[in-house]
Amino acid sequence: MSLAVFQRNVPFVATLSVFALLFAFASARYDGFFTLQYFVSFVSADAYLGIAALGLTFVILSGGIDLSVGAVIGCVSILIGVLIEKHHWSPLLVVPVALLFGTAMGASMGAVIHCFGLPPFLVTLAGMFFARGLGFLISLESVPVGGALANFNSDVYVPLSSRAFVPATTLLYLLAFLIAFAVAHFTRFGRNVYAIGGNEPSARLMGLPVGKTKIGVYTLSGFCAALAGVTYVLQNTKGDPTTGLGLELDAIAAVVIGGTLLSGGVGLVAGTLLGVMILGIIQAIITFQGTLNSWWTRIIVGALLLAFILLQKLIQAKKFQTAKTFQTAK
Amino acid sequence: MNTWHKLKWPLIALALVLLFNLLSTPGFFRVEIKNGHFYGSLIDILNRGAPVMLLSLGMTLVIATGGVDLSVGAIMAIAGAVAAMQVNAGHALPFVLAASLGAAVAAGLWNGLLVGYFKVPPIVATLVLMVSGRGIAQLITEGHHIRFNSPPFEFIGRGHFLGLPFAVTIVLVVFAMLALLCTKTAAGLFIEATGDNEKASRYAGVQTRLVQFVVYTICALCAGLAGLITTTNVQEADPSNTGVGLELDAILATVIGGTALTGGRFYLAGSLIGAILLQTITTTILTRGVPVNWTLVVKATVIIAVCLLQSEKFRQLIWRRKISVL
């Protein structure tokens, strides 16, 4: 039993080690890296990617995939921008509308996936085209957002020291993480997600609400993507229909590097947080180094992704062997 | 018979879009001959659709084995970048072609290795190259756009052969070769068998690993050719923008063409029709003066409609409702 628990968490331990190694390397090598101020700033920079990745973690845990998150972020950001700047809606109304849009988008994709048995890959691909297209229909140009929303991030913060401030968006990110963590590990819904990802037919035979849960995870992912869109607007004080192009891939990479199996059923929400931070550290190291060009980011992320996928294969192969020793049939 | 049944829907859709154009856009079907070359909207559709047509041919074989290749757009960028660098280095055309297509083949072998031998799920395996491939292409050109001026090389994307754009000729040749490969040899059977049931095929003696290796390589080679066409057409290698999002168009064309994402039966002709349908829709949107930003929403609607039509459950739903109405 303890062995099984250990084996399941090997990817997470690997993620933790990679993070620690990268962090130690960067701290030793670059002046000013090992400061609270910088730590907060590079965690904050990825807040919206992180929030989207948290929602995506549930989808991947359930054995599905959601390619629409980047497009939903772009669509929500421009929706907020246009509603506030062109139609002068109150931010108190706009933010719920934006969140509702993302949630509805996720729920409809989940419903189509479950009710018609279509592959999640295709449905969320269509969702991605739809959301991106809708964003461009709302406005082709990015719209600067002023007023209360623009000042929110600079007005609301928690001072950690004389120079380190945690901005509101980062607090939102941490809050989202805590809620996601609680939902994954301490609720019925969370346990159902793990069960369905582990083995859908068994979950169905056990009487778990497979359909409801599946629709639920896409709804949750849609909500998180919309929340990420709101976070983007708060951070960058603009709505931009091209935001989040290819972000779904970064988010998937973060989830996988965080130790979640793409086949579903195994993974930790905390891993995703670490995965996003690893992406952030790689970006930071490349910025600090100065001589490395930005395209190295993509190559290194690709290499890390590969390393983690191969590690996952190794663990699965081992698990298969253990399973074989227990049951002689099949 | 079965093939016709599958090709029916994309053909009907294509016919509807063309009919719409016949009625609404005067001169849409006019084909003129200028300087011995054909010109017109229809030729333009084929010419502009050529890269996605090539991609969808390769993608069809990959999807038929139950896989998917997300890295084709990145491979296009790599092939274009290698070719542009070699042309500017003053190498001869055969060397340029060998180097750029060789790079594409290497990328395909890599995907095949991950999927066939390491048994990594295809979406993830090709995601690795999709993420890092564009970085590699930027590394090759050191992040710059590389312009070049070499008429023999540019013939690939700008030349004409027998009056048709040369890109269309390439598509036809690749289609003919793949169709022959799949109908006149056992390769088609092996590919379908692998996609239907990999384990059973392996026990039956099909070398499924080799099959996966080969289809990913063919797909990458098609992507390499598509990259050369795109690059030579604009006389510039642009590592960050060449082929962005085209992997999705190729997958879409394949699915519209009747090949199921779950693998098994595949329809090369269907994928070609699917790719032409996509390009026709795009061209229609452009010529009708509809803002370009509608393209994505229309595309999304088409995907969902086609997918729903192919879904067993959806058809049952419609069927039942018909009965209840009766």
In a domain, A240, yes or no: yes
In a domain, residue B307? The reply is no
Asked if the structure places residue B18 within a domain, the reply is no
Q: Is the pTM of this model over 0.90?
A: no
Residue A310 covered by a domain: yes
Residues A266-294 have pLDDT tens digits of 888 999 999 999 988 888 888 887 777 77
**Is B193 within 8 Å of B201 (Cβ atoms)?**
yes
Q: Tally the C-alpha atoms within 13 A of residue B310's C-alpha that lie toward its C-beta.
A: 24
**Does the beta carbon of B252 lie under 8 angstroms from any beta carbon of chain A?**
yes
What values do phi and psi take at B91, rounded to 5? Answer: -80, 160
Which pLDDT score is estimated for A8?
66
Which member of B114, B131, B298 has the closest CB to residue A253? B131
- Identity of the residue numbered A275: G
A292-299: long-range pairs with CB below 8 Å, 24+: A293/B138, A293/B139, A293/B142, A293/B143, A294/B143, A295/B134, A295/B135, A295/B136, A295/B138, A295/B139, A295/B143, A296/B135, A296/B139, A297/B135, A298/B131, A298/B132, A298/B134, A298/B135, A298/B138, A299/B132, A299/B135, A299/B136, A299/B139
Q: What is the pLDDT of residues A24-49, one digit of tens each?
A: 988 888 887 888 888 888 888 889 99
Res. B305 pLDDT band, cuts 50 70 90: confident
| Full DSSP string of A82-128 | HHHHTS---HHHHHHHHHHHHHHHHHHHHHHHHHH---HHHHHHHHH
Residues B248, A253: C-beta atoms closer than 8 Å: no
Whether B182 is in a domain gets the answer yes
pLDDT in tens, B197-206: 888 888 888 8
User: Does position A4 have pLDDT exceeding 60, yes or no?
Assistant: no
Q: Is residue A67 part of a domain?
A: yes
CB contact under 8 Å between A252 and B301, yes or no, is no
- Quick one: pLDDT band at residue B252, thresholds 50, 70, 90? confident
CB contact under 8 A, B123 and A121: yes
| pLDDT surpasses 80 at A153 | no
Q: Does ipTM come in above 0.85?
A: no
Q: Count of domains in chain B?
A: 1
Q: What is the mean pLDDT of residues A194-213?
A: 91
Contact yes or no for A125 and B124 at CB 8 A: no
Tell me if B305 is assigned to some domain. no
Domain hosting A229: range is: 2-318
The mean pLDDT of B71-80, rounded to a whole number, is 93
Contact B296 A123 (CB under 8 A): no
What is the rounded distance in angstroms from the CA atom of residue B265 to the CA atom of residue B275? 18
How many CA atoms within 13 Å lie on the side-chain side of B306?
32
Q: Where in the sequence is the domain holding B165, given as residue range(s)?
A: 36-290
Q: Does residue B320 sit within a domain?
A: no
Number of domains into which chain A is organized: 1
Among B residues 44-73, those touching chain A with beta carbons less than 8 Å apart: 68
Selected for mutation to probe chain A from B132, B141, B203, B295 (highest A CB count within 10 Å) is: B132
Please state the φ and ψ torsions of residue B300, each to the nearest 5 degrees.
-60, -40
Residue tagged 């809050």 (tokens): A175
Contacts of B297 in chain A (CB under 8 A): 129-130, 133-134, 137
Q: What is the DSSP letter of B69?
A: -
CATH of the domain at B152: 1.10.3470
Q: Per the domain annotation, does A122 fall within a domain? A: yes
Q: CATH number of the domain that A165 lies in?
A: 1.10.3470
Report the pLDDT value the prediction gives residue B325, as an integer from 0 to 100: 47
Helices (H) then strands (E): counts for chain B: 14, 6
**A166 and A44 Cβ atoms separated by less than 8 Å:** yes
Nearest to A133 among B293, B304, B312 (CB): B293
The residue behind tokens 């070359």 is B37
Buried b (16+ CB within 10 A) or exposed e, B164-194: bbbbbebbbebbeebeebbeeeebbebbbbb
Whether residue B303 lies inside any domain: the answer is no
